[in-house]
Amino acid sequence: MDPSSILMPAGLQNAAVFTIVLAFAGYLVTFMSSRMMARRADRLRLVNQRLNEFYGPLYVATVAGNIAYNSLLAKQGKTQCHPIRDEDLKEWTLWMTTIFMPLNNVREKIIIDNAHLIVEEQMPQCLLDFVTHVVGYKALLSKWADGDYTERRSMIGWPADFDGYVERSYQALKAEQTRLLNNFLWRFWQRFARRKSRQAASSRPETRPA
């Protein structure tokens, strides 16, 4: 006969085993949910960083540039800037130096300084083409500063897929951000974490200056 069966009835043994199994299962659920929420938090931080430091500013500057460009075309009664007529040259150079080029410089800086935040594994060709396009205009504006207006546009054309790439990437990240923030489990976990934080803060002894 097993001596333990004398000391503890079978019903109590089963209850003890069930309690241990239940506690272990609860630990596993908590552990797995903690890992899942931690991964979600890491992903949300990355999405926020990409939006705040790369795709968000890039999108805003691109939309502003397109609005300004279309406004200039409408003012001149044209559907595209090329060819730049002699009568349009003064206004074109003014808008290029005071509006378009500053926005280009903003976007170039975003791409160069925050290239590590791009979504793709490889740098998209349209971003490289855009930086090259801006470099071409920098050389052109240097000629303008010397009074040489024989060239009126960058020799390196605007990348046709740049605007679409920026808009698609920005919208995709915003959708993912919304999904991550509105997930039921994520909201529950955030409320739980805040409650635990408040409980921990209230349990600390109050310190007053001497």
**DSSP string for residues in 142-177:** HHHHTT--S--S-SSPPPTTHHHHHHHHHHHHHHHH
Tally the domains of the chain.
1
Model pLDDT, residue 183: 74
In a domain, residue 58? The reply is yes
In a domain, residue 18? The reply is no
Domain span including residue 101: 54-167
In a domain, residue 183? The reply is no
> Count of H helices and E strands in the chain?
8, 0
In a domain, residue 187? The reply is no
Confidence of residue 187 (pLDDT cuts 50, 70, 90): low
For residue 111, give the nearest of 99, 125, 96, 128 by alpha carbon: 128
Model pLDDT, residue 114: 97
Name, in order, each residue with C-beta under 8 angstroms of 106's C-beta and a sequence gap of 6 or more.
57, 61
In a domain, residue 181? The reply is no
Confidence of residue 1 (pLDDT cuts 50, 70, 90): very low
